[in-house]
Chain A
């Protein structure tokens, strides 16, 4: 397969579609923007694609909390097709609002987190089953913030991060609800222990981040995670807004690089799709 196809899921309030499309095209993919209404009518459309991207924005205005209304729509109408898509080896990337949507559907940190694992009581399981393992909530600063941050790529089996562990990259964040919170410490520990943390905020030299290096107060400086398979990646920072060298905020000081730091995410995804 020479040119993998990316489905870019659009809806009311999607607004990072243009730069996400640009980054995937730079990486050698073809991109088709599909409105969620059209996908609901024809979920088979997913079969034509190897990668799905949930771009940033304010889906439905984030009127009931970030990503909630779109997550509700996907859970109610498209849960099965998306589950099959990932099972088949498809990749899904959620950026910013897309990450919020993936967490609020439960696709991140993954379906295995939704069963409680508590023993024999069927009664208990049925109730706990509805509980979500994690959420993205208000920044500690209590407001929307746009700033550039340094991230460390974590060790991960995710195809998106292949060969990049330990790399420091610079992406912008632009969000008001980016603090990743789990139901309890055990959930957080499991995400950590199973190598599902994809990106962490850090200082420009890679040291531990304080505010504003960690812009939202996420515990353990978590900026992005994958699901159990590594094929679903979500992150608050915007790799697609650092595809070009002149998008870097300090290029007039440091000079222009070959390409933007964010491109590796898209190249890895496209190369993986080509191979598989």
Chain B
């Protein structure tokens, strides 16, 4: 038997290569008030324990781990020689005869001592043999491969000629200029994952080793930072915590090599019962709390009563299964519960809030294109005769607050799995993402303890979505980012996924006798009890497994699952599928077997490492897993297909017919639960809800601190709004997402003459080559929730529709999703605003004929600061999927041609309450009137505008939202690199009384249901005819000159009237682009 050796391989960039990972670090130090390093180098570390010799390890280091051109690698030695020193070798005599042997030995001696930086001084060399050249070439190559550098100096002309003739002159490095300067030794910070935390790279290394005929017992990865410039321990520790590592999943080691974390050991099987019988309420509460079960006393009592009938205590896994099935996350107890509402409008009792509002809207509309709503993992609507499209948006807020990168990545990963688990499996064709963060300029000292800086959260979230979405090959085509100080402790991450599903693959059901098959990733301790499981129990020296409170995704594993699953779907190899998300196998099998019953042998579940208890196996939230119901006769074909795709598929049980859930571990029964109790035994939650009228969020140190523009300076106000992070360009985010993969994207998130203007909605063609499309858009306006939740909800629905209609979507075929993120709804005020939001959303959906097809809620987004809870603003995200009859009729928002007419569609009212104009002026949110949606007018407007777009009468169209007319006009202008002139007295206003609106109201009012539209002169008559009966007017022209000019009336001047705005569009664009 060959003996195993543990090798530590370090890989770093060659000295002459820029280090992208290191370049931004000094500035990041500075932004945290830390002394910045003078120089930084990053090193990748790999540990491999395999039965091969050092030469093999060195070959791996050179050929596999290090890039052959840009990097160098070392085995069991630092890749960067601490002082970077060179040894000069004066080559004394004519290098002929056997003199070369002496030189060869000298070189070998240095190499043996790991001195790979050499200078050959050839001043005295007058002639040279081919063997002598061989020494130089050998030394040069070997040094290079070991990460060193061999320089040649003072080469005589004749020797140069010789080198030239051999081709060697082209290869070697000359001169002192290339020699790195010596520096004092750097400090090192090494970072490794805590034991048991998912590391996707390990699988790829294992695969690459296998291709080379090697195997390894253990593979691990880490990274090291080298800092030059005399930094203190405190500085390095602070940087480690705040910049370099996330201690929820990683360990930091200063100036010493990180230890290798191997997971060893197992657990002895022991069946655990939880004594419930005879316990009083206080004891039940304590049991729930201790076990992180999140079950209320009433719920614990229901469980107790159930087991009293059986005359025994539940096992631990039974109790966990009940807790998971009855959790808020899975059951939406609050939204589906009894709500007693009271407010100025009176009292109302809901037996089931969701059913009496959101679901009622969908039922009332009864849209013929709704194929499956509110029952599957995503809503399903008809696309054409053969195909359906699916849409789902989910939040992943709490995990993203703790570990933004992993949290956001697994957020999008989970949402993609929802698409895969819709019907018999939809193909994901587009992603959306919407984020809410604290203000990016928040001061570090002002942050509540335990929170990450909003900028770091933002960067982590964006990278997490980028790396998962891009690797999955799904375009991220649409999104939004909203900023408010109250999101500091609770950032919101909404991930959306659109799928394409054959209409004959919508229905699914597990059948008695089907096999329970788990497919995809292995099960580990990832995300057990989600974030509630404390990571305090982890210790640096821990050799046993630590918890994975935070889940880390592996996009490629999920891509493999996708590839295999869709082939299996088309081959008809299974009868039901769902994803393994929150609650793991417990949730997936519990749901799929609800009608049949199921038996599972938990020891059959493939594990990442030994040592999981049967309960952990059952409730683990390890990522990238799907659960299938497979008819036994189809199993061999499925297994073969999965083997071919390198996807693990395992039968772990059977769907039965007795309605019981039975779990076994190595033959011993560990759970026996009636599905009827599991799914029907949850007592109804009854809650109080109250609305007390508008409130203003308290100003805190985290609120906006920009200097407000001077009152009356409309140009400065416009610049300030454009530069507000919520309005400003998100190009730095969007560019990092692949929005073109799959070739479906017709209207991109960025648009215009330079592909950098803000598109209103993305348009994709689900069937490649077919011009029928869908538009994806969002409505999100939490700034109005505290002021008027009912109106806020209508505004959000209106905004989502408005954006879709602006690009050419059919307003009669819009389907929407509701995602609620709220504070703690056991507080009547929070639930009160939520109930009113549901009412407003319902009213708007019915008026527009736009049914809800799916939704989610995330309640309890509060963060305690000095004992004072800060709740997020109630945040309703409306996501819209709308049909586009022919994408070739679509329009974008950028101005197209000087001389074209500009129309304003829709009425402007004095609605500056909660506006961005007031926000940048620092005015109270309670000042002014909140915008109102006039639903029937809006509906007619959208129908008329859509007809005009279909007829080709519209060259550009942009919706008016944050910042009103002025911001929309500015965006259209700079996106099209053309100017615009607008006359305020032409703007359609609501009624005679409001006719004389102040200029700032006309410019910045956020009245909804409005558009700016560009129309070519020859189409004006037809356009006006198409808009007959709809409030509209020509308000100006497209200019060739790069100016946005807004005057009160034709020919008026600033001196005479005030309310004049004349801004260079390039300056406006600069403000809009310069925010981040």
A positions within 8 Å CB-CB of B: 10, 12-16, 18-19, 22, 26, 35, 37-38, 56-58, 60-61, 63-65, 68-69, 72-73, 76-77, 116-121, 123-124, 127-128, 130-132, 134-135, 137-140, 142-148, 172, 174, 181-186, 238, 240-241, 243-244, 246-247, 249-250, 252-253, 256
Top 9 nearest A-B pairs (CB, nearest first) are A15-B473, A124-B137, A19-B743, A186-B170, A121-B134, A63-B204, A142-B20, A132-B68, A119-B166
Task: State the Cβ distance, A34 to closest chain B Cβ, in Å.
Answer: 11
Given A19-B742, A146-B740, A172-B740: A76 and B212 interface contact (C-beta under 8 Å): yes
Among B502-510, B860-868, B886-894, B1041-1049, the one that faces the other chain is B886-894
Among B870-900, those with CB < 8 Å from A are 887-888, 890-892, 894, 896
Q: Is B70 an interface residue (CB 8 A)?
A: yes
Provide 28 A-B residue pairs closer than 8 Å at the C-beta atoms, listed in order of the A residue.
Answer: A15-B471, A16-B742, A18-B742, A19-B741, A22-B743, A22-B769, A35-B645, A58-B556, A61-B200, A61-B555, A63-B204, A69-B204, A72-B64, A119-B167, A124-B137, A124-B141, A127-B138, A128-B141, A131-B68, A137-B70, A142-B24, A144-B466, A184-B171, A246-B887, A246-B888, A247-B745, A252-B751, A253-B896
Q: Is B753 an interface residue (CB 8 A)?
A: yes
Q: Mark B833-846, 1 if CB is under 8 A from A, else 0.
A: 00000000000000
Q: Which residues of B contact A135 (CB under 8 A)?
A: 67-70
The answer to whether A246 and B771 touch across the interface, beta carbons within 8 angstroms, is yes
A241: which of B144, B166, B560, B740 is its contact (CB, 8 Å)? B740
The answer to whether A121 and B130 touch across the interface, beta carbons within 8 angstroms, is yes
Given A63-B205, A120-B130, A121-B134: A174 and B740 interface contact (C-beta under 8 Å): yes
CA distance A22 to B1004 in the complex (A): 47
Given A18-B768, A144-B470, A247-B745: A64 and B211 interface contact (C-beta under 8 Å): no
A116: which of B171, B211, B750, B771 is its contact (CB, 8 Å)? B171
CA distance A37 to B211 in the complex (A): 11
CA distance A174 to B24 in the complex (A): 22
Residue of A nearest to B66 (CB): A65
Q: Which residues of B contact A118 (CB under 8 A)?
A: 133, 137, 166-168, 171
The answer to whether A137 and B556 touch across the interface, beta carbons within 8 angstroms, is no
Given A63-B205, A246-B887, A253-B896: A182 and B69 interface contact (C-beta under 8 Å): yes
Extra A-B contacts (12), CB below 8 Å, given A69-B208, A118-B171, A186-B171: A15-B473, A60-B207, A72-B64, A77-B211, A118-B167, A119-B166, A121-B134, A124-B134, A127-B145, A148-B755, A174-B741, A253-B892
Q: Is B738 an interface residue (CB 8 A)?
A: yes
The answer to whether A72 and B69 touch across the interface, beta carbons within 8 angstroms, is no
Q: Is B739 an interface residue (CB 8 A)?
A: yes
The answer to whether B735 and A145 touch across the interface, beta carbons within 8 angstroms, is yes
Task: State the Cβ distance, B489 to closest chain A Cβ, in Å.
Answer: 28
**Residue with the highest number of chain B CB atoms closer than 10 Å, among A10, A128, A139, A238:** A128
The answer to whether B171 and A16 touch across the interface, beta carbons within 8 angstroms, is no
Q: Is B385 an interface residue (CB 8 A)?
A: no
The answer to whether B753 and A253 touch across the interface, beta carbons within 8 angstroms, is yes
Given A13-B559, A148-B755, A249-B748: A35 and B166 interface contact (C-beta under 8 Å): no
Given A58-B470, A124-B141, A135-B68: A18 and B739 interface contact (C-beta under 8 Å): no
The answer to whether B141 and A131 touch across the interface, beta carbons within 8 angstroms, is yes
Among B740-772, those with CB < 8 Å from A are 740-743, 745-748, 750-753, 755, 765, 768-769, 771
CA distance A185 to B171 in the complex (A): 9
CA distance A69 to B472 in the complex (A): 17
Given A77-B211, A119-B167, A246-B888: A253 and B138 interface contact (C-beta under 8 Å): no
Q: Which residues of A contact B751 (CB under 8 A)?
A: 249, 252
The answer to whether B65 and A64 touch across the interface, beta carbons within 8 angstroms, is yes
Among B1022-1044, those with CB < 8 Å from A are none
**Residue with the highest number of chain B CB atoms closer than 10 Å, among A77, A138, A246, A250:** A246
The answer to whether A60 and B556 touch across the interface, beta carbons within 8 angstroms, is yes
CA distance A66 to B377 in the complex (A): 34
Q: Which residues of A contact B64 (CB under 8 A)?
A: 64, 68, 72
CA distance A12 to B153 in the complex (A): 49
Q: Is B445 an interface residue (CB 8 A)?
A: no
Q: Is B62 an interface residue (CB 8 A)?
A: yes
The answer to whether A76 and B741 touch across the interface, beta carbons within 8 angstroms, is no
Q: Which residues of A contact B750 (CB under 8 A)?
A: 249
Task: State the Cβ distance, B504 to closest chain A Cβ, in Å.
Answer: 21
The answer to whether A64 and B208 touch across the interface, beta carbons within 8 angstroms, is yes
Task: State the Cβ distance, A175 to closest chain B Cβ, in Å.
Answer: 9
Q: Which residues of B contact A127 (CB under 8 A)?
A: 137-138, 141-142, 145
The answer to whether B131 and A121 touch across the interface, beta carbons within 8 angstroms, is yes
CA distance A176 to B737 in the complex (A): 11
Q: Is B646 an interface residue (CB 8 A)?
A: yes
Q: Which residues of B contact A117 (CB under 8 A)?
A: 167
B894: which of A73, A182, A186, A253 is its contact (CB, 8 Å)? A253
Q: Is B63 an interface residue (CB 8 A)?
A: yes
Task: State the Cβ distance, B549 to closest chain A Cβ, in Å.
Answer: 24
The answer to whether B559 and A243 touch across the interface, beta carbons within 8 angstroms, is no
Q: Which residues of B contact A64 (CB under 8 A)?
A: 64-65, 201, 204-205, 208
CA distance A13 to B203 in the complex (A): 13
Q: Which residues of B contact A137 (CB under 8 A)?
A: 17, 67, 69-70
The answer to whether A13 and B471 touch across the interface, beta carbons within 8 angstroms, is yes
The answer to whether A19 and B69 touch across the interface, beta carbons within 8 angstroms, is no
The answer to whether A16 and B741 touch across the interface, beta carbons within 8 angstroms, is yes
The answer to whether B170 and A184 touch across the interface, beta carbons within 8 angstroms, is yes
Q: Which residues of A contact B645 (CB under 8 A)?
A: 35
Q: Which residues of A contact B555 (CB under 8 A)?
A: 58, 61
Q: Which residues of B contact A138 (CB under 8 A)?
A: 20
The answer to whether B768 and A15 touch across the interface, beta carbons within 8 angstroms, is no
Task: State the Cβ distance, B1076 to closest chain A Cβ, in Å.
Answer: 13
Among B947-965, those with CB < 8 Å from A are none
Q: Is B154 an interface residue (CB 8 A)?
A: no
Residue of A nearest to B427 (CB): A18
Task: State the Cβ distance, B453 to closest chain A Cβ, in Å.
Answer: 20
Given A69-B204, A121-B130, A146-B739: A61 and B471 interface contact (C-beta under 8 Å): yes
The answer to whether B23 and A12 touch across the interface, beta carbons within 8 angstroms, is no
Q: Which residues of B contact A68 (CB under 8 A)?
A: 64, 67, 208
Q: Mark B160-190, 1 if CB is under 8 A from A, else 0.
A: 0000001110110000000000000000000
The answer to whether A12 and B65 touch across the interface, beta carbons within 8 angstroms, is no
CA distance A185 to B474 in the complex (A): 38
Q: Which residues of B contact A77 (CB under 8 A)?
A: 211
CA distance A249 to B477 in the complex (A): 13
Residue of B nearest to A22 (CB): B768
Residue of A nearest to B134 (CB): A121
The answer to whether B138 and A124 touch across the interface, beta carbons within 8 angstroms, is yes
Residue of B nearest to A140 (CB): B18
Task: State the Cβ distance, B953 to closest chain A Cβ, in Å.
Answer: 14
Q: Which residues of B contact A247 (CB under 8 A)?
A: 740, 743, 745-746
CA distance A127 to B272 in the complex (A): 63
Q: Mark B183-221, 1 if CB is under 8 A from A, else 0.
A: 000000000000000001101110110011000000000
Given A120-B130, A250-B755: A130 and B62 interface contact (C-beta under 8 Å): yes
Residue of A nearest to B141 (CB): A127
Q: Which residues of B contact A73 (CB under 8 A)?
A: 207-208, 211
The answer to whether B207 and A69 touch across the interface, beta carbons within 8 angstroms, is yes
Q: Which residues of B contact A37 (CB under 8 A)?
A: 644, 646
Task: State the Cβ distance, B384 to closest chain A Cβ, in Å.
Answer: 18
Q: Which residues of A contact B554 (CB under 8 A)?
A: 61
The answer to whether A60 and B67 touch across the interface, beta carbons within 8 angstroms, is no
